[in-house]
Structure 1
């Protein structure tokens, strides 16, 4: 049943809050225990839903989209999201400001691409390699850098090598982000040409 309404985290938080509320109501305000318990149960149930993670494609009208495309996008995002979360966590654990900023930039681009694919599932094929390869690999490399940097005597050569890869990954991330933006433009160039031809016919310029 827990899997239907989120992950462990929302249940733990809801349990702690409702338990604290029960203790507070019954001891500090001297509410009858049964009333305090009933209020706590209602708060617990409400928090389960409020804190539950948002489902993929929530709010999107899936009836207008191809089922196979949605399934494909869902599969890609299910692989990419945990890696993107790891990438964000790695960024927060890196002390070096320059490297932290670079990893944070990778994390921001990954989150942006994932958000755009969720909003437009049919764009998933254009960033398949990005989601299934580059995001997980970037998380792996960023975590490796954080682990190396936290050693008492880290190898500067190894840190430099990892840092070089992270810098190059930024180029790959920007490339795929831009390619997704290009795919969203669709037939813009054709539309512009047709509009220009129509304007020339109608107003002579």
Structure 2
């Protein structure tokens, strides 16, 4: 049940702050010890709640999505967390400005896709291959480029080959990100045609 209120860190921080507050109020402030303990307890409870990290899909109605779909989306995002971080770190450490910019773009797109899945867990299926395959491979390749750059005599041919693959990965990333947007648009084209037909019928133009 305690896991509902975050990890151990928020409890530890809240406990330390509350203990310091009780000591400060009772010793330095001259507040009666019992009153100080009550105040410390209230502060402790408030901090535990405030410091609780946000959980995936907070506020999402399981009845509308389904527990299975939520669990599936959650597993995908949890597995994608490590390669996302690896990609972001590699992007900041790459020396070549063009490749660094490309790696940053890949990291930005991955963050965008993850954000869309967090907002709409039902979309996880559409980007399963992106999260479970393309993202981890992109992270490995970007990190490999970073490591190759550190050699005193880096293999320029290998660096060029990696950059070429990253260009193709960039296209794949854009494809999946735009696919989620297309899915969100849904029946926009149909709605536009219906509205235009209604306007023509009502206004004659």
TM-score (norm 1): 0.77
- Specify the alignment match of 1:174 in structure 2: 174
Structure 1's unaligned 5+ residue stretches are: none
Superposed CA offset, 1:130-150 (max 9, x none): 111111111111111111111
Q: Provide the alpha-carbon RMSD of the alignment.
A: 3.2
Give the structure with higher Rg (CA): 2
The corresponding residue for 1:112 is: 112
CA contact (8 A) 1:87 1:103 kept: yes
Match of 2:98 in 1: 98
Q: Is the 8 A contact 1:91 1:142 kept in 2?
A: yes
Whether the 8 Å contact between 1:76 and 1:128 is mirrored in structure 2 is yes
Write out aligned runs for 1:1-205 (5 A).
Answer: 6=6, 10=9, 14=13, 18=16, 50=50, 52-205=52-205
Give the whole-Å Cα distance in 2 for the aligned partners of 1:193 and 1:110. 34
Report the 3-state secondary structure (helix = DSSP H, G, I; strand = E; otherwise coil) of the residue aligned with 2:152.
coil
What is the CA–CA distance in structure 1 between the aligned matches of 2:118 and 2:45, rounded to whole Å?
Answer: 28
CA distance in 1 between counterparts of 2:92 and 2:173 reads: 19
Aligned length, in residue pairs: 195
- Partners of 1:64 and 1:6 lie apart in 2 by 25
Q: Distance in 1 between matches of 2:53 and 2:28?
A: 35
Listed as ranges, the gaps of 5+ residues in structure 2 are none
Instruction: Provide the rounded CA distance (Å) in 2 between the counterparts of 1:49 and 1:145.
Output: 43
Hey, what's the Cα distance between the residues in 1 that align with 2:115 and 2:134?
Answer: 16
How far did residue 62 of structure 1 move? 3.1
